[in-house]
Structure 1
C-alpha cells in the first residue's frame, strides 16, 4: 500500500511539474545600459527585459488596440508586479564596450499568473462591450400544419400559439445568457421582423443571410435552431435543437438537442412542457458559449497545422504542449489526423495563417526547428528540421 501510494504521489508530482513547465513561456532579451557600475547596469538591463518581454506577451494576449488604450493601467497595475508572473530570470555575464554595459537575459513567463493579473484588472476579455447574441429559431408545428419565424412577414393569423412559444424561449435565453454577461436580443418582443428586407426573409438564416443579420443587428453570435412539434405514438413529440454560431466564420461553438413526449390536449401540453424545460435548455447552451468565450475560442478561426515526417506519440505530445504554451495566439489545439508520415492539428487562433506560420517557425522544439512547406488560409504544412 505504501509503495502504491508513493508511486501515485510521484505520478501526481511529475504531472504537476510538467503542467507548470508547459505553462512557462520562454523569452530572451539582449540589452545595453549606460549606468556607471556593473551592478547598476545589471539591474537596469533586467528591468528593461521585464518591461520589454511583458509588453510583447501582453500585446499578444489582449491585442494591440486594447494594449494601447490601457497602456498606463498595464504599466502601473501589471508590469510593476512582473515578479508575480516571471518566476525565472537568468542573466548572462555582463560585458563592457566603451561606455556601455551589455548583457543577455533569459526569462520564463507564467501565462496563467499573467492572465490572472490581467483578468483582475478587467483586461483579458476579448471585447469591451457585452457580446450580443441573436436567436433565429423556427417554430414548426406539423400537427396543425403551421410555422412561425420572427424574420418572416406572414398574413397567417393562426400563429399566436407559436408566437407565444417563441417568447417563452427567448425569455429563457435572455435570462440564461445574462448570467454570463451576454446580451440576447428578443426579436419577437421587439418586433424586429418588420425591419428585415424581403430578400432576407428566407426559411433558413445562413451564409450571406447570416452575415447580413449579424451586421444589421450587431450580433457576432447567432443561435440557429428549430422547435419541431409532431405527433407521436402516444400524444405528441417536441424536438428542440439550437446551435450557437460565430457568424464571422460560420463556426459552431455550442449546441443542444432535446426530445420530449407529452400527452393531453396539444397546445396545452406543449405550452406546459416548453415552459418547464426552456430554462434548462437555455442554461446548457449559455454555459457552452461562455466556456468557449473563456477559452478564447470565440473570435478565433480554426487553422489546420500539419507536421510531416515520422513522429513518435511522446514527441507529438511534447510538440503540442510546446505550441499551446509558447504561442499566446493559440487558444486551443487538438489532434485531428495521425498517419505514418504526418500528424495534423486543429488550432484555434486569433492570428492569420501567415502570422501563425511565422510564430511556428520561430519555435525551438528540443533543438529542432519547424520549416514551412506550404501555407494557405486554412492550412499550414511544416516539417521538423535540425
Structure 2
C-alpha cells in the first residue's frame, strides 16, 4: 500500500512540474509523409515533395477533425482558405535526405501540425462544428406535487384538469428551456404545447424514461439529446412556505451518456400554495435553464456530442513521467480523442477514461501506432467500451 501511495504522490508531483513549453509541445500533432517527385532537378523535386507533404498531411488531419462528408462538401473552400495557408498551422517541417532512383526523387518529410491554430482556421470558416443542423433536445420532466398529492408527465395520458397547475408549470419550464437553448443554437421541442403525449405508444408511457424508452423517444422525435428529471413541490415543516426542487439531466441518448445536469432547491415566500410556487418558479427558471444549456453547449463545443467514453487500461508500470507523457501524447496525437482522464492508478498500471469519436478497435490501432520514447504498446484485448494494452517486448 505504501508503495502505491508513493507512486501516486510522484505522479501528482510530475503533473505539477509540467512546464508551459511541454504543454505547448503537446498541442503539436506529429505526422510523416514519404513522397516521390519526377521533377528534373533536386531543388525542384525537394520543393515538390514538401508541397505534397503539406497538402496530404493537411487533408488527413482535417478529415479526422471534421469528418469525410464535411471535408468532401467543402473541399474547394478548405483548399483556398485553409490548406493554401498551411504555414499558419504547420510551424515545423523537417525533410530527410533526398535520394534518386532512375528518373524519380524520393524523400520523407516530418511535420508538426498545431491543432489549436488549425482548429481556429476551421472555426473562422464555420467548418469546425460537427453538426450542420441545429441539435434537437426533448424534455421529459416529471412534475410532482406532494402538497396536494398529484403528478404530471406529458407522455402519460391524464386528465389535464386535476393536474392543471402542474401542466401550467410544465409549460413554463418548456418555455425557459426553449429560450435558453435557442441562444446556444439548440432547438428544444415543447411536448406540452404541441400535445405530443397523444402520439406516444402505450408501452412507452412509463414513469421513468430510460434505456430502450429513451432510445425510442430520441428516434421517434428525432432528438439526440433528452432532458429527464423532476420538479418537486412540497410543504416546509414549519411556517407557510413551500419548497421547490428542480433536478434535470441532459443525456446523449445514443450511448446513454449524461452530458450536463443541474440540481436546485428553492424556498417560496409565505402565501397560498399555487401563487407562491408560481411566483418563485418565474424567478428561478431562467437561471436554472441557462446553466443546463451552457453545460450542454460546452460539451458540444468540445466535440463531446457524438462521442463515447472508452476505458483504456495500460498494464505495466513504466515510471510516472513516462505515464504522464503517454497520456499527453494520446490526447495530442490522436485527433479523435477529445479528452482523457486518469481513473485508476496502481503499481500494476493505469486506466484512462477517454472521450473519443473513434470506436474501440480504431482507437487501439491508433495508440499502437504511437511511439512512446522508443517504446510501443500492443493490444491485449478490446471490447465495445474498453481496451487493454501493454508495452510490447
Q: TM-score range by the shorter chain?
A: over 0.9
Match runs of 1:58-77 below 5 Å: 58-77=62-81
Please, what TM-score do these two structures have when normalized by structure 1?
Answer: 0.95
Deviation at 1:155, TM superposition (A): 2.5
User: Structure 1, residues 40-72: CA drift from partner, whole Å, max 9, x if none?
Assistant: 111110000001111111111111122122222
**Distance across 2 between alignment mates of 1:189 and 1:314:** 57
Deviation at 1:14, TM superposition (A): 7.4
Q: Is the 8 A contact 1:152 1:202 kept in 2?
A: yes
**Distance across 2 between alignment mates of 1:239 and 1:316:** 43
**Distance across 2 between alignment mates of 1:319 and 1:13:** 16
**Distance across 1 between alignment mates of 2:363 and 2:341:** 16
User: Structure 1, residues 240-294: CA drift from partner, whole Å, max 9, x if none?
Assistant: 0000000001100000001112232110111011110000000110111111111
Deviation at 1:16, TM superposition (A): 2.5
**Distance across 2 between alignment mates of 1:292 and 1:371:** 31
Aligned to 2:276: 269
Q: Which one of the candidate residues 201, 204, 213 is aligned to 2:217? A: 213
Aligned length: 376
Match runs of 1:11-50 below 5 Å: 15-50=19-54
Aligned to 1:129: 133
Q: Give the match's secondary structure for 1:25.
A: strand
Aligned to 2:354: 347
Q: Is the 8 A contact 1:228 1:239 kept in 2?
A: yes
**Distance across 1 between alignment mates of 2:173 and 2:294:** 16
Q: Is the 8 A contact 2:160 2:167 kept in 1?
A: no
Can you give the 5+ residue segments of structure 2 that lack an aligned partner in the other structure?
Answer: 1-15
Q: Is the 8 A contact 1:311 1:341 kept in 2?
A: no
User: Structure 1, residues 299-339: CA drift from partner, whole Å, max 9, x if none?
Assistant: 10100000001133322211110000000010000000011
Q: Which one of the candidate residues 217, 229, 233 is aligned to 2:233? A: 229
Q: Give the match's secondary structure for 1:331.
A: strand
Aligned to 1:175: 179
**Distance across 2 between alignment mates of 1:354 and 1:156:** 51
Kindly indicate whether residue 247 of structure 2 is the aligned counterpart of residue 241 of structure 1. Answer: yes
Can you give the 5+ residue segments of structure 1 that lack an aligned partner in the other structure?
Answer: 1-11
**Distance across 1 between alignment mates of 2:305 and 2:320:** 30
Deviation at 1:13, TM superposition (A): 12
**Distance across 2 between alignment mates of 1:274 and 1:171:** 12
Q: Is the 8 A contact 2:37 2:105 kept in 1?
A: yes
Deviation at 1:15, TM superposition (A): 2.8
**Distance across 2 between alignment mates of 1:157 and 1:268:** 17
* Poorly superposed stretches of 4+, deviation over 6 Å: none
Kindly indicate whether residue 258 of structure 2 is the aligned counterpart of residue 252 of structure 1. Answer: yes
**Distance across 1 between alignment mates of 2:20 and 2:301:** 23
Q: 1:13 to 1:344 in 2, by over 3 A?
A: closer
**Distance across 2 between alignment mates of 1:19 and 1:217:** 43
Q: Give the match's secondary structure for 2:254.
A: helix
Q: Give the match's secondary structure for 2:57.
A: helix
Root-mean-square deviation (Å): 1.5
User: Structure 1, residues 83-120: CA drift from partner, whole Å, max 9, x if none?
Assistant: 11000000111111111111110100000011111111
Aligned to 2:159: 155
**Distance across 1 between alignment mates of 2:220 and 2:18:** 52
Q: Is the 8 A contact 2:29 2:115 kept in 1?
A: yes
Q: Is the 8 A contact 2:215 2:254 kept in 1?
A: yes
Q: Give the match's secondary structure for 1:189.
A: helix
Aligned to 1:199: 203
User: Structure 1, residues 12-57: CA drift from partner, whole Å, max 9, x if none?
Assistant: 9973211210000001111010011111111110000001111111
Q: Which one of the candidate residues 365, 383, 389 is aligned to 1:358? A: 365
Aligned to 2:8: none
Q: Give the match's secondary structure for 2:19.
A: helix
